[in-house]
Amino acid sequence: MKIFKFGGASVKDADGVKNVYDVLQKVGSEDVLVVISAMGKTTNALEIVIKNYFDKSNEFHASLQEVRKYHNQILLELFDDEEHDVFFAVNSHFADLEYFLRSNKSPNYNFVYDQVISFGEIVSTTIVSHYFNHQGLKNNWLDVRNFIKTDATYRDANVDWDQTQKLISKGVKKKTLNITQGFLGSDENNFTTTLGREGSDYTAAIFAYCLSAESVTIWKDVPGVMNADPRYFENAILLNQISYREAIELAFYGATVIHPKTLQPLQKKEIPLFVKSFINPLLPGTSVSKGEDLDPKTSCFIIKKNQLLISLSAIDFSFIMEENISEIFGLLHKYKIKVSLIQNTAISFSICIEDKFGNFNELKTILSKKFKVSYNENVSLYTIRHFTKEASEMVEKDKEVLLKQISRETLQIVTKE
């Protein structure tokens, strides 16, 4: 079986859904499991719904109707007959969403987030599945929450691999086209969980691992894995082949083309990963597999924006020792704050972080009891793998460099634009 993953950009409108159908016609759909994300910017739109819900905003109902209207427009462009079953199915999903928002009693933001945000993927795959059937491409729609079981760490759940393996091995039909949702799972009480933003790639890898798949293909709006994000860097080039190790390094430092968790399960079973263009599906794209690292060594540029640079120093000018660092990392773990860079001197400790869950202010209050805390908001972290002098100079040009760190293969620079 092959695993395909299509992200939100590939199904952002009716033409996108039609194009995914065309891609499958060109590359084959028998014995394939397709993982599909929410349509377009639906996840962002549902995040606004959640914010308005908790803020008790007057905009709450309007923001929810915007999501419904967006999907209804896609339906009207895909199906001529408004009596088609898909309209009933989609309306039923939105009715379920509205019922949850009316009846929910939980004040837990992360719990509510996962229950609401999941409707993006559920509705998206419902539309795609019905459209494929309408076009004569028969398929089997799967609710991924019946297959991927996790703990109850809402918004960043951990997979129960034993249970997931059993459910997928038993429940996924072979020799047919299966369609399911990315990003989602469920806990032991069958409440919806999510695997972290952009987690649909990881979903594809989970299914691939449990099914010992032939390959995984991530379909993107770029030709493959580039050495830099074309939105921020001119003259980005395609990397034809990279090793699992190099791909893991790039993902760890923030390359968004592959989700960081995706590669480990694939590497364990040596399942090749392809990153291809859904615009030109017959082009070879990038292959990620067992083998040598980049050769020749190509400089790869990664940028993470909206980061926080924090510097801690002891109030009494004493050394920052192991026990201090251990305490700091304990707090970072407690508040679910991702660290992208670390640098320390005798009396100071600096970290560049990503505050995904909005916990920094609470953490800062705790840290301020023991340390002098200074920080810069909205900084950018540039990482250059296989850096050269020319690459470094290009990144630093016309920027204020707040911190710079060099290792054997990697250069990291924190800048204020």
pLDDT tens-digit map of 67-83? 999 999 999 999 999 99
Q: Residue 136, annotated ligand binder?
A: no
124, 176, 168: which is closest to 145 by C-alpha? Answer: 168
Give me the torsion for CA of 147, 153, 154, 155, rounded to 10°: -90
Predicted TM-score of the model (pTM): 0.85
Q: Are residues 188 and 313 in the same domain?
A: no
Q: Residue 43, annotated ligand binder?
A: yes
What's the rounded Cα separation, in Å, for the pair 38 and 16? 12
Q: Is residue 29 part of a domain?
A: yes
Q: Is residue 173 part of a domain?
A: yes
Q: Residue 231, annotated ligand binder?
A: yes
Q: Is residue 107 part of a domain?
A: yes
Report residue 92 as tokens: 């039923």
The residue out of 213, 231, 252 marking a domain boundary is: 213
What's the rounded Cα separation, in Å, for the pair 124 and 101? 20
Q: Are residues 192 and 306 in the same domain?
A: no
Q: Residue 330, annotated ligand binder?
A: no
- Listed in sequence order, the DSSP H helices in 6-84 are 14-27, 42-55, 60-78
Q: Is residue 257 part of a domain?
A: no
Tens-digit pLDDT profile for residues 129-180: 999 999 999 999 999 999 999 999 999 999 999 999 999 999 999 999 999 9
Q: Is residue 248 part of a domain?
A: no
Report residue 374 as tokens: 């200074």
**Buried-exposed string 243-270: b where 16+ CB fall within 10 A, e elsewhere:** bbebbbbbbebbbebbbbbbbebbbeee
Q: Is residue 380 part of a domain?
A: yes
What pLDDT is stored for residue 129 in this prediction?
Answer: 98
State the pLDDT confidence band at 294, using cuts at 50, 70 and 90.
Answer: low
State the pLDDT confidence band at 372, using cuts at 50, 70 and 90.
Answer: very high
Q: Residue 417, annotated ligand binder?
A: no
Q: Residue 120, annotated ligand binder?
A: no
The residue out of 213, 241, 269 marking a domain boundary is: 213
Burial of 163 per CB tally in 10 Å (0-12, 13-18, 19+): middle
Provide the 8-state DSSP code for 8. Answer: G
Q: Are residues 200 and 319 in the same domain?
A: no
* CATH number assigned to the domain comprising residue 136: 3.40.1160.10
What's the rounded Cα separation, in Å, for the pair 23 and 29? 9
Percent of the chain with pLDDT over 90: 84
The residue out of 213, 230, 252 marking a domain boundary is: 213
State the pLDDT confidence band at 117, using cuts at 50, 70 and 90.
Answer: very high
Q: Which range has the top average pLDDT, 47-51, 196-200, 236-240?
A: 47-51
- Give the residue-averaged pLDDT of 400-416: 94
Range of the domain at 378: 300-416
- Give the residue-averaged pLDDT of 215-233: 92
* CATH number assigned to the domain comprising residue 338: 3.30.2130.10
Q: Are residues 182 and 323 in the same domain?
A: no
Q: Residue 296: pLDDT above 60?
A: no
What is the count of structural domains for the chain? 2
What pLDDT is stored for residue 324 in this prediction?
Answer: 87
Distant-in-sequence, close-in-space partners of 147: CB < 8 Å, separation ≥ 6: 164, 167, 168, 171, 172, 180, 207
What pLDDT is stored for residue 74 in this prediction?
Answer: 98
What's the rounded Cα separation, in Å, for the pair 198 and 201? 7
380, 368, 383, 388: which is closest to 414 by C-alpha? Answer: 380
Q: Is residue 246 part of a domain?
A: no
What pLDDT is stored for residue 292 in this prediction?
Answer: 64
State the pLDDT confidence band at 18, using cuts at 50, 70 and 90.
Answer: very high
What pLDDT is stored for residue 290 in this prediction?
Answer: 87
Tens-digit pLDDT profile for residues 243-270: 998 888 888 888 777 877 899 999 999 9
Q: Are residues 308 and 186 in the same domain?
A: no
Q: Residue 185: pLDDT above 70?
A: yes
Q: Residue 28, annotated ligand binder?
A: no
Q: Is residue 226 part of a domain?
A: no
Output the average pLDDT for the chain.
94
What pLDDT is stored for residue 293 in this prediction?
Answer: 61
Q: Are residues 310 and 203 in the same domain?
A: no
What pLDDT is stored for residue 417 in this prediction?
Answer: 73
Q: Are residues 23 and 172 in the same domain?
A: yes
What pLDDT is stored for residue 259 in this prediction?
Answer: 75
Report residue 278 CA to chain centroid gap: 18
Is residue 47 a contact partner of residue 64, using CB atoms and an 8 Å limit? no
Percent of the chain with pLDDT over 70: 98
For residue 166, the one-letter residue type is K
